[in-house]
Chains A and B, each alone.
Chain A
Amino acid sequence: MHYTPHTDSDREEMLRRIGVRGIEELLVDIPASLRNTEFSLPEGMSEHELLKHMTVLASANRPLSELTSFLGAGAYEHLIPAAVEYLLARPEFSTCYTPYQPEASQGTLTALFEYQTMICRLTGMPVANASLYDGASACAEAAILALRAQGKNRVALARSLNPFYARTVATYLKGLGTEIVEIPYTEGGQVDTGCLADIAGTVSCVIVQSPNFFGVIEDMKAIGEIIHDTDALFVASVNPVSLGVLAPPGECGADIAVGDVQVFGNTLSFGGPYAGFFAVAAALMRKIPGRVCGMTQDREGRRGFVLTLQTREQHIRREKATSNICTNEALCTLASCVYLSLLGRQGIEELARLNVQKAHYACEVLSAIDGVTPYFSGPFFNEFVITLDSAIPLDALEERMLKQGILPGLRLGRFFSDLERCLLVCVTEARTREEIDRFAAALKQILKENL
């Protein structure tokens, strides 16, 4: 299989025009000692053989289309309108580069501008960038912005922040020697505000997630007020689906709002590509990392869009840039933009409501089972933690559930030693009542057998 179009006579003619006898004359700069190498790779394949091989690999997986999943924890199964995938497949969107030449890229730029506006309207923040890699790296970039803006080499993370995000932040900050302090959670599963008040004055920023990793909704307004009494920046990591019904970070006094727009029209794809969103208060506009699209005019006074505030960026500022972002996740933001356009003002609220109602129904029917108790008492969105009082090891339980085609949620013991017997259960609009009931029945049966 090859995708190169030349015939041998094309090649000969081109070499003649260049004035060389053979291709080797064009490779003289590569020392012969480096050319003397073998490439031990499998033989190439025809398109048909490739499709067959890839289908075999794909069939060795059990996708969510064959399972009933209650997994969330930062990656969420939502319904995706057919129109999203249809538009995303347009080569005009997928086979172009970063829009460096605005006159030839108004399609991408228009969509980025619309996306930025939608993120601002959802989060209540005045400025948003055109994307970062994912929610985890967006948290890390927020911490770096705060360090540079506030000058204290210390940041605070809520212990209820997604542990994958927290670990990514820690990795990014290791090189800067930054100290990371953790704010514990209460019995309700919410940030310990007493502890927050003690710490906030000593750090450049506080990163709080709501709904947090346990699904619990934080009192973001109270947290905002506590942080406002200090110099620390308030970084809110939010699941943007929840903003269909929950108060936006901008109204809670957040300085930076981050999260992942995977939930808006992007397939799960085993963890990526997703896209981090990043929105800031007006005062931080020129410190924002990544690409930003702005509106302007052409010479005839017609509206047009360009990448702007580029003096923050690596290709201009090199080592003084606000971040090293070059390629990010434009096509994933396009998916969100199309998705949110289809849902609209009513749809986003309905989506969030459906998530709340289904998750609460599931929590109720699961909690009615002997040996199942909700672990936290705080209000929750579409995820909640249950604790299982039973002799059965959770991996065995997971195995039993899987036999019935159910993914019961995430075992929390590997992240939190105090939550050894806990499962994080996620219920989105993609789950039906029948599926929830089937999950509850299966769990009840297994627990009964293992009393």
Chain B
Amino acid sequence: MSEPLIFELSREGKRGYTFPECDVPESPLASLIGTRHLRREPAALPELAEIDVIRHFTRISRLNFCVDTHFYPLGSCTMKYNPKVNEKIAALVGFSQLHPLQPPQTVQGMLRLLFELEHLLCEITGMDAFTLQPAAGAHGELVGMMIARAYFARAGEPGRNIVLIPDSGHGTNPSSAALYGFEVQGLASDASGRVDVKQLGAALTPRVAALMLTNPNTLGLFEKDISSIAGLLHDNGSLFYCDGANLNALVGLAKPGDMGIDILHTNMHKTFSTPHGGGGPGAGPVGVKKKLAPFLPVPRVRRDDARGTYFFDGVGAGDSVGRVHAFYGNAGVLLKAYAYIRALGAEGLRQVALDAVLNANYLKELVSACFDIPYNSGPCMHEFVLSAARQKEHGVSALDIAKALIDRGFHPPTVYFPLIVKEALMIEPTETETKETLDTFARVLCEIAQAAEHSPGTLTNVTPHTTPVSRLDEVSAARKPVLTWCAESGREEKDSASGRQRR
């Protein structure tokens, strides 16, 4: 890669921003604070002019693929188009320049927006109450686990400590459950790729707190038996948690709340179009059924119906799991999701799901001759999973195919997930892609599949070669980690300023 690091561009004495002159009488820091607390030398931040900074970050930005430049069919990530009007809205000073601790009478518009968003999400999902506080999907999962634990503690059943998770579930599911002290028990999928209802029945003991299920699941299949799954769980006194990562397939069509789901997390940065930012910020609101509402995190947004004003209720009912974020979650993200829902309305949201399903099935049809598609007994929902097992026989792996796609101008699908498909390529086109894009992508993917059979050597060696770097050595990166820059050695930061060595 030819662009230097910002530290390599640094020249002593340069500055990219000037503060206003100090307009108050100054005293030496040593007298105000005491030498003991002061830093001996300034932090070695890079020194650049504004134009250097602009050029550096503009240049490195061009090394990224993104939705605005490339088809980005990452399965279960819902990389849909991010409407530009929402960026304009979020930048309004009436939203962006609000301090979270301002008196409520000065933030009525924002409180109303959050209050209405909770209700819109309730209506879309069929849940009874929402918290907007979780900052991401996995944060929402954790909050869901907190709610489950608090509910069983309240119900006098603290012994319910097992969370069941199908083997097709996202990795965040088991780690969120374990982070809150639950024991995770896996469930194998049945031959159709769905929850094995018989096996679930056998796993349901009085110790089971909940099942965490993604619906549609990560194979892109709707869990047809969802109502009987809910029945089994509820008969056992357990809760039904739904990972809403794939809600895009259902918006405006069906409500998770009608399916017997007790707790649901949603992803504003997936279903509700807020940009993903290269790894956040997102927002992961959690919806619950009525019986679980008292356990939602504080603070809650409330409306004083008599006065028509909004306020934060910091205490909630006494059963709340507590606070999970310094303030109220990612308000700047939530307002974009609100704008998206208001722009689309029920009809627009329904079209989102319909076109997401249409695009996935169309693309699946176009590539079905070139790849194995396990668990393919009927239509898929919003995504589908190919297997490169056939190509692997010629030595070409799913990762090779991913890199070949990059060379041909496409961001690859999610690879090696779900774990139950060998050499998995998980493809989610989303509703915002055109037929032309899908046609081109399918043609290219099939050409790669053919090349895998006829000239595998062209794929396994040097790809990608159109990118700023070719395939990177991830093994040495993990074995001998270099996590910071140090000019002197050109390698890792010297350990001089590090914390103490443990005895």
Contact = CB atoms under 8 A, between A and B. Distances in A.
- The answer to whether A and B belong to the same complex is yes
B273 interface: yes
Contacts of B432: 3-5
B24 interface: yes
Question: Which 5 residue pairs across A and B have the least CB separation, nearest first?
Answer: A271-B327, A58-B94, A60-B109, A44-B345, A331-B277
A185 to B, nearest CB: 17
Given A6-B355, A60-B108, A71-B102, A130 B279 contact: yes
B138 A327 contact: yes
> Chain B binding site: helix, strand, loop or mixed by DSSP?
loop
B211 interface: no
Contacts of A294: 477-478, 481-483
Contact of A59 (B57, B109, B346): B109
Contact of A357 (B24, B34, B278, B347): B24
A160 B215 CA distance: 44
Contact of A120 (B99, B343, B347, B493): B493
A250 B477 CA distance: 25
Nearest to B381: A29
Given A65-B97, A101-B406, A282-B495, 15 more contacts: A30-B254, A39-B346, A83-B17, A98-B280, A126-B493, A174-B149, A272-B325, A303-B1, A318-B175, A318-B184, A327-B276, A332-B280, A342-B15, A344-B16, A356-B33
A40 B122 CA distance: 10
B58 A104 contact: no
Give the one of A29, A83, A165, A275 with max B CB within 10 A: A29
Contacts of A69: 99, 102
B339 interface: yes
B159 interface: no
Given A250-B497, A323-B179, A345-B47, A93 B61 contact: yes
Nearest to A379: B33
Contact of B19 (A249, A325, A354): A354
Given A63-B93, A318-B184, A270 B327 contact: yes
Contacts of A407: 99, 102-103, 106
A306 B477 CA distance: 8
Interface stretch (A134-142, A197-205, A366-374): A134-142
B94 A104 contact: no
Interface in B391-409: 402-403, 406
Nearest to A398: B103
14 contacts: A5-B433, A50-B85, A51-B85, A51-B89, A92-B68, A94-B87, A102-B474, A106-B64, A125-B499, A285-B481, A324-B179, A325-B138, A334-B278, A379-B33
B54 interface: yes
A39 to B, nearest CB: 4
B206 interface: no
A302 B109 CA distance: 51
Given A37-B126, A103-B472, A347-B19, A23 B354 contact: yes
A442 interface: no
B93 A65 contact: yes
Interface in A285-329: 285, 291-300, 302-306, 308-311, 313-321, 323-329
Give the one of A75, A96, A348 with max B CB within 10 A: A96
Contacts of A432: 20, 23
Nearest to B412: A101
A425 B479 CA distance: 48
Contact of A100 (B74, B321, B324): B74
Given A61-B108, A106-B63, A272-B328, A116 B281 contact: no
A449 interface: no
B423 interface: no
A271 to B, nearest CB: 3
Contacts of B6: 114, 337, 341
A434 B23 CA distance: 9
Interface residues of B, number: 216
A26 interface: yes
Nearest to B13: A346
A22 B141 CA distance: 36
B94 A99 contact: no
Give the one of B81, B180, B182, B280 with max A CB within 10 A: B280
Contacts of B92: 54-55, 58
A292 B178 contact: no
Interface residues of A, number: 222
B44 interface: yes
Contacts of B378: 28-29
Give the one of B6, B403, B484 with max A CB within 10 A: B484
A326 B136 contact: yes
Given A10-B435, A98-B278, A99-B279, A344 B227 contact: no
A35 B406 contact: no
A241 to B, nearest CB: 11
A4 B276 contact: no
B46 interface: yes
Contacts of B100: 75, 268, 270-272
B401 to A, nearest CB: 12
Contacts of B337: none
B19 to A, nearest CB: 6
A98 B136 CA distance: 13
B349 interface: yes
Given A11-B358, A37-B254, A81-B17, A253 B95 contact: no
Contacts of A281: 498-502
B281 A174 contact: no
Given A219-B36, A250-B498, A357 B27 contact: yes
Nearest to B223: A29
Contacts of B499: 125-126, 249-250, 253-255, 280-282
A89 interface: yes
Contact of B136 (A170, A327, A402): A327
A392 B224 CA distance: 64
Contact of B29 (A56, A273, A356): A356
A19 B362 CA distance: 9
A391 interface: no
Given A94-B277, A299-B470, A113 B5 contact: yes
